[in-house]
Structure 1
Amino acid sequence: MSKKFLSIFVLTIFLLSTVLAGCSSSKNNTSSANETNTQKQETAKPVTIKLGMWSSSPAEKKIVDDQIAKFKEKYPNIDVQIETIVGDYMQKLQTELASNTAPDIFYLDSMPAPQLMSSGVLEPLDDYIKKYNVDVNDFEPALLSAFQWEGKTYGLPKDFNTLALFYNKDMFKAAGINEPPKTWEELRDVAKKLTKDGVKGLVLSADLARFDAFINQNGGSVYQDGKVTLNLPENAQALDFYVGLITKDKVADTPQNMGEGWNGDAFAAKKAAMAIEGGWMIPFLKEKAPDLNYGIAELPAGKQKSTMAFTVAYVMNKNSKHKDEAFKLIEFLTGKEGQQFVVDSGLALPSRKSMQEGFKEKYPERAAFVDGASYAVPWQFGLYGTKVVDAANKACEALIMKQISSAQQALDNAQKEVGQ
């Protein structure tokens, strides 16, 4: 065989092998691409997630609608259907959970949260938080802790409110008071100066959701380490001060004794110069008393600063058939994109710390609510919940009505009523 012929033969074999290799590689690449596309298609299969919420104001419904519209842009394969539960929310929700017809994710208030967290009907979120790298440290600790049970996290807070002191600026100016009170002593003194001409310095309700802040400010606690602690001496001292503003100092009264339904009504009607309420008071006053000249300050402190944190979380139904998609929705609604709608609305406070400065810039007059978040105590008493609230409220009412003279005895009775 000639060298020339041998060279041609070798070249032909080389070219042929290269072509075949190319075809094989192309086939493998095509197969791999097809496999990837198939996986993506399987991941992007249409899924429907039901979101349960209670019947609320049109403003809150708009926030959720806008959040979902934005979520759909990011996850077009996930359809979100809102189920508005009217009437007794918790009763109907528990019925749906028992019959396996509950939504995939739904609102849960901090007060009844322990009942559901302990009953095994909620999906723990810890694995999903880790899987999707959710920064839970950005949530206010008081909010997140309200939805943690026995070392597991069951909900991510969607928003919250704290208590603050509303004060009538015109009444303050007329009384020569330059700034809102910062301590209990100042609160009493200022209330005295403002109590005149049929107006009380302060309106106070016989409601644990208001006087619990004073208990915490005095170093007390209503619930601690799984036990009800209603009758601690610090609690009695705080309740004695709170009720004493009505019965002893005569500088405050209940809204009912003023002929009004709640604190907001009495403040709006200018029957009280100060009131202790949350951010929900703002839209109420805008409608009820649009010309009222008022300010908002942090609550006056006792031994320490404290206020209450009222919060709601999104939680996941343990029987959801689409848990990853359900968590993606929770993550979005409580993440920075979703929380921006909360900031823009001003209806409540964003639950993420990183969003709160933006809220204060947009609503500087509401800074007291945000500033209180760092020392707020969650509105929650374990599995005893409403039993604690009912017993404490009765104790406060009995003192105001002078059916009993000792705050300590009233709280001792309340402790017995709860069964501890």
Structure 2
Amino acid sequence: MMRRFDRRDVLKMGTAAGAGMAFGGGGRGTAAQEMRQLSVLTTGTPDPRPPGTGDYGNDMLDLWKSDHATEVTYEMRPLFEVDDASRAAFDTGVYVHDVYYNSAMIPPFSPYLLELGSRLPEDLIADLAPSQGEPVSWRGQQYGVMPTLTLMILVYNRTIFESYGLPGPPATWDELKEYAAEINPGFPMGLMMPYGARAGIGGVASIWSAFLQQAGGRMYDDDGTPVFNDAPGVDALQFMIDLMPSTTGDSLTNVDMLDLSHRMAHDSAGMMFTFPAFWEVLNQGAPPGEGKIVPAVMPTGPENNATIAMADSWTIATTSPDPDLALQLIDFYLSPEVQRRQWTDIGWLPARLSVLEDPAVQESTPVAAAIREQANAPFASFVTDNFMAVTDVIGLEIQRALRGEQTAAQALTAAEEAIRPLLG
């Protein structure tokens, strides 16, 4: 049974209002005067959500509200409705909500959002991954903070690996290629991937962008200009091409990570890349550490073992009458105890590294240790304006290269030319 929250815990959470928290300007009164108000647009089950939604964390939020003399109201929407609801609110040009849940929409919404990177509390920044700002930044400005650390990692089938005498997960590109080829001769195949999905985070374009980072490359410069059509970009795509003989034949039509997770759990391949959200399906109810599917960090390329990240974040609207208080609420959402309960109560891993390192968290799932280690490496999402259209175009050219219809260099040249009009 989860213990009740007490006021000593609340006093540790979200109370900083000094250094790193000030936006300037006045608020809407103090706790001694009248109840202040905050409005939050958020997702609901099964996605990450804040305390005080449904039956999750009502005790924590009630105590925070009492301590801050603040009423917090939620507008809950399914994740697929949050973007449209945010756009409609921003289009009014007036205050609607203080805090917005943002799902990979920082670039188009950035004119309506406050810059947060320079205002986050120092103790919070010190407890987040070094690359925490990358997926939620646009043109050098960080506009959000991620509630959960959702990084792409490698998983492998321990039973298959043992049957082939493989010692453990591949640590390098060379080992990934070698192990996949070793498993390949029959069924199962060495590697299974969702290359049929062109667009979005987790599609073939973003998987290539993970290899791109591992080769030392970047998608865009600080001004948003494409810079991926270079040696690291070509090397990354050529590596994917080289892996194709050891990759399941239907990978170029696979679009559903959930379906792949079920197949991976039933011995269809030795390895795949995935996200923590699919662990329950992969693990098939096995006790922690005893399942045949094992999580591991990404293999290291010529430069590092970088990865990609989901880009969900908490943001604050420029129209908020009390951005200082709104940031204190977000700080509360990211506080250690809330982050711990976020995992135990609703199953989303924390963003705070100290909570990922908590023995109780790591003992409950092997994914926590893998994500904590992966967090030491760079990660990004490379979200842009027209992100789905941009990644769809890049993904199309990558698919053609993986099918052998063009070279890696030809694919990236075509992709660069095609996306420039979409980037503005």
Tell me, in whole angstroms, the C-alpha distance in 2 between the residues paired with 1:289 and 1:256.
30
Unaligned runs of 5+ in 2: 1-28, 196-203
Tell me, in whole angstroms, the C-alpha distance in 2 between the residues paired with 1:417 and 1:305.
29
Bigger Cα displacement from structure 2, 72-81 vs 174-183: 72-81
Pair 1:105 & 2:104 matched:
no
Task: Classify the secondary structure of the residue corresponding to 2:229.
Answer: coil
Correspondence 1:253-402 to 2 at 5 A: 253-255=249-251, 262-286=259-283, 293-303=292-302, 304-345=304-345, 347-358=347-358, 359-360=361-362, 362-364=364-366, 366-383=368-385, 385-402=387-404
Return the offset for 1:408.
Answer: 0.6
Tell me, in whole angstroms, the C-alpha distance in 2 between the residues paired with 1:365 and 1:40.
41
Contact 2:114 2:318 in 1 (8 A): yes
Q: Which residue of 2 aligns with 1:96?
A: 89
Tell me, in whole angstroms, the C-alpha distance in 1 between the residues paired with 2:152 and 2:47.
23
Tell me, in whole angstroms, the C-alpha distance in 1 between the residues paired with 2:349 and 2:410.
38
Q: Which residue of 2 aligns with 1:416?
A: 417
Tell me, in whole angstroms, the C-alpha distance in 2 between the residues paired with 1:313 and 1:258.
28
Bigger Cα displacement from structure 2, 152-161 vs 231-240: 152-161
Amino acid at match of 1:159: T
Contact 1:194 1:200 in 2 (8 A): yes
Contact 2:155 2:294 in 1 (8 A): yes
Return the offset for 1:103.
Answer: 2.4
Unaligned runs of 5+ in 1: 1-37
Q: Which residue of 2 aligns with 1:27?
A: none
**Number of residue pairs matched by the alignment:** 373
Q: Which residue of 1 aligns with 2:65?
A: 75
Residues 394/153 of structure 1: CA separation in 2 closer, same or farther (3 Å cut): closer
Amino acid at match of 1:236: V
Amino acid at match of 1:376: P
Q: Quick one: which of 96, 107, 115 aligns to 1:114?
A: 107
Return the offset for 1:362.
Answer: 4.7
Tell me, in whole angstroms, the C-alpha distance in 2 between the residues paired with 1:126 and 1:276.
30
Q: Quick one: which of 221, 230, 253 aligns to 1:232?
A: 230
Q: Which residue of 2 aligns with 1:26?
A: none
Tell me, in whole angstroms, the C-alpha distance in 2 between the residues paired with 1:278 and 1:311.
13
Tell me, in whole angstroms, the C-alpha distance in 1 between the residues paired with 2:45 and 2:392.
25
Tell me, in whole angstroms, the C-alpha distance in 2 between the residues paired with 1:218 and 1:251.
20
Task: Classify the secondary structure of the residue corresponding to 1:75.
Answer: helix
Q: Which residue of 2 aligns with 1:4?
A: none
Return the offset for 1:233.
Answer: 2.1
Task: Classify the secondary structure of the residue corresponding to 2:319.
Answer: coil
Q: Quick one: which of 151, 173, 177 aligns to 1:184?
A: 173
Residues 40/212 of structure 1: CA separation in 2 closer, same or farther (3 Å cut): closer
Amino acid at match of 1:216: Q
Tell me, in whole angstroms, the C-alpha distance in 1 between the residues paired with 2:331 and 2:275.
26
Q: Which residue of 2 aligns with 1:162?
A: 151
Residues 170/390 of structure 1: CA separation in 2 closer, same or farther (3 Å cut): same
Tell me, in whole angstroms, the C-alpha distance in 2 between the residues paired with 1:150 and 1:218.
22
Query: TM-score by structure 2 length?
Result: 0.78
Return the offset for 1:59.
Answer: 7.8
1:278-308 deviations in Å (ceiling 9; x for gaps):
1112123246999962111111111122112
Q: Quick one: which of 144, 157, 171 aligns to 2:133?
A: 144
Residues 102/380 of structure 1: CA separation in 2 closer, same or farther (3 Å cut): farther
1:245-264 deviations in Å (ceiling 9; x for gaps):
11xx3444444657976532
Tell me, in whole angstroms, the C-alpha distance in 2 between the residues paired with 1:192 and 1:135.
43
Contact 2:306 2:378 in 1 (8 A): yes
Tell me, in whole angstroms, the C-alpha distance in 1 between the residues paired with 2:337 and 2:166.
42
Residues 347/210 of structure 1: CA separation in 2 closer, same or farther (3 Å cut): farther
Residues 62/154 of structure 1: CA separation in 2 closer, same or farther (3 Å cut): closer
Task: Classify the secondary structure of the residue corresponding to 2:330.
Answer: helix
Task: Classify the secondary structure of the residue corresponding to 1:123.
Answer: coil
Tell me, in whole angstroms, the C-alpha distance in 1 between the residues paired with 2:117 and 2:328.
13
Return the offset for 1:321.
Answer: 3.2
Tell me, in whole angstroms, the C-alpha distance in 2 between the residues paired with 1:384 and 1:225.
17
Contact 1:222 1:228 in 2 (8 A): yes
1:307-337 deviations in Å (ceiling 9; x for gaps):
1232422111222234333222111112223
Structure with the higher helix share, 1 or 2: 1
Q: Which residue of 1 aligns with 2:32?
A: 41
Q: Quick one: which of 76, 81, 85 aligns to 1:84?
A: 76
Residues 418/50 of structure 1: CA separation in 2 closer, same or farther (3 Å cut): same
Return the offset for 1:153.
Answer: 4.3
Larger radius of gyration: 1
Query: TM-score by structure 1 length?
Result: 0.78
Contact 2:98 2:317 in 1 (8 A): yes
Residues 125/69 of structure 1: CA separation in 2 closer, same or farther (3 Å cut): farther
Return the offset for 1:273.
Answer: 1.7
